[in-house]
């Protein structure tokens, strides 16, 4: 086993290791903890630190081994995870050195695919998010001003200045409602009701923008991946650009391990499949293997009858599945493809068309 592959063992539990580390840091802040418990927790932190040191070595070796990917953020996080606790231990001393282990909060971000997506969503939706944030600021200031004017004489200690009233406005607008400042006048209470409702609206806008942004980003990722997969199926090269876009949207990628059953004889069929990579085995009396570019499962869609044969993955296989409604759309838009599929189905059935 090479040094690199040995060290790689320590890379996956990145985030998992951070969790006990952070729990140990939190536990060490409990004042009446026994000396023995403190020692055990310190050992936990030392072990995790050791694992992170090994991971840093692995990251640096990978870089030297010519890893072309830009790993600068990962390296920065690995370096900080080792250096910050070490420097704190050497320079700060007990008991506060353990607090610096909270730098491990960065570890779960290291290999996450979520944060790059979040970054793209925030960048794409920046204009809308800034718009809603500006609205929030305007409403916040306006509400604080109104609360100050209405309540300043009744409760000067809570609403005696705009900054004081702003605290109430933030707590009410976010519908948190600590209850430390409550309007006493009728006008103040009407204002509070309006603020709560507008708060809900503003947060709904934020949530809506982010949810739409995430949905579009995920769809875009799926589209790009499907587009590459569709390019591997020669049948689709007959399609015009408009239909191709529709088909790329409709197709669903599926990975099946070797031996997995994809469809079973006698079952109703609601989709057909295109082989992108790998091979499938059709369990007919003379078993047939289908490879990249081939399709199967079309017979049930055309005839409406149950599956004619069991089809399983002969090797690990990458497929694209097409639902029956989208299959009808494909046949409607491309008579040429519909004819190829229909002829293949007839050949496979070994019968002559009746119509
Ligand atoms: P379907 O009947 O929907 O589900 C099983 C599929 O196996 C079938 O559609 C065909 O796509 C495929 N199939 C059946 N017989 C053969 C054959 N002789 N050669 C290749 N594929 C077949």
pLDDT at 39: 94
Label each residue of 228-288 as H, E or C: HHHCCCHHHHHCCHHHHHHHHHHCEEEEECCCCEEECCCCCCCEEEEEEECCEEECCCCCE
Q: Which residues contact 229 (CB under 8 A, 6 or more apart)?
A: 251, 253, 276, 318, 320
Best of 309, 321, 344 to mutate for ligand 1, by most ligand atoms within 8 A of CB? 309
pLDDT at 207: 97
- Which of these ranges, 79-88, 101-110, 158-167, has the smallest mean pLDDT? 101-110
Q: Please state, in angstroms and rounded to a whole number, the distance separating the CA atoms of residues 41 and 125.
A: 43
Q: How far apart are the first and last CA of the chain?
A: 65
Ligand 1 atom nearest 272 alpha carbon: 3
> Can you read off the two tokens belonging to residue 196?
């709560």
Ligand 1: distance of its center to the CA of 314 in Å?
A: 15
pLDDT tier for residue 72 given thresholds of 50, 70 and 90: confident
Q: If 0-12 CB within 10 Å is exposed, 13-18 middle and 19+ buried, where does residue 281 land?
A: buried
Q: What angle do CA 32, 37, 41 make, to 5 degrees?
A: 115
Ligand 1: distance of its center to the CA of 320 in Å?
A: 16
Ligand 1: distance of its center to the CA of 297 in Å?
A: 6
pLDDT at 92: 80
> Can you read off the two tokens belonging to residue 317?
């296989």
pLDDT at 70: 61
Ligand 1 atom nearest 300 alpha carbon: 3
Q: Please state, in angstroms and rounded to a whole number, the distance separating the CA atoms of residues 207 and 245.
A: 29
Ligand 1 atom nearest 306 alpha carbon: 2
Nearest alpha carbon, ligand 1 atom 19: 348
Model confidence pLDDT, tens digit, residues 35-68: 999 999 999 999 999 999 998 888 788 765 555 4
229 neighbors 221 (Cβ within 8 angstroms)? no
Cis preceding-peptide flag for 95 (omega within 30 of 0): yes
């Amino acid at each position: 086993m090479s040094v690199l592959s040995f060290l790689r063992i320590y890379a996956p539990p990145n985030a998992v290791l951070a969790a006990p580390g952070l729990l140990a840091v939190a536990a060490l802040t409990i004042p009446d903890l026994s000396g023995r418990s403190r020692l055990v927790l310190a050992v936990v932190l030392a072990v995790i630190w050791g694992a992170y040191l090994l991971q840093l070595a692995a990251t640096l070796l990978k870089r030297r081994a010519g890893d072309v990917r830009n790993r600068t953020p990962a390296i920065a996080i690995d370096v900080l995870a080792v250096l910050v606790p070490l420097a704190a231990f050497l320079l700060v001393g007990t008991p506060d050195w353990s607090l610096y282990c909270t730098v491990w909060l960065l570890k779960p971000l290291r290999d996450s695919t979520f944060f790059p997506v979040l970054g793209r969503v925030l960048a794409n939706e920046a204009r809308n998010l800034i718009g809603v944030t500006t609205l929030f600021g305007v409403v916040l200031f306006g509400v604080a001003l109104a609360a100050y004017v209405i309540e300043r004489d009744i409760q000067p200690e809570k609403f005696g200045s705009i900054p004081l009233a702003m605290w109430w406005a933030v707590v009410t607008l976010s519908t948190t409602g600590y209850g430390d400042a409550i309007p006493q006048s009728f006008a103040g209470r009407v204002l509070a009701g309006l603020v709560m409702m507008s708060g809900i609206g503003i947060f709904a806008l934020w949530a809506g923008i982010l949810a739409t942004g995430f949905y579009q980003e995920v769809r875009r990722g799926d589209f790009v991946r499907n587009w590459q997969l569709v390019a591997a199926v020669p049948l689709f090269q007959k399609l015009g650009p408009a239909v191709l876009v529709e088909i790329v949207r409709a197709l669903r990628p599926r990975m099946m391990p070797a031996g997995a059953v994809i469809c079973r004889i006698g079952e109703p069929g609601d989709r057909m499949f295109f082989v992108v990579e790998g091979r499938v085995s059709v369990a007919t009396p003379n078993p047939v293997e289908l490879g990249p570019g081939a399709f199967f499962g079309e017979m049930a869609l055309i005839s409406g009858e149950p599956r004619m044969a069991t089809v399983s993955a002969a090797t690990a296989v990458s497929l694209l599945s097409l639902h029956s409604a989208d299959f009808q759309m494909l046949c409607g838009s491309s008579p040429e493809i519909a004819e190829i599929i229909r002829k293949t189905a007839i050949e496979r059935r070994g019968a002559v068309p009746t119509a």
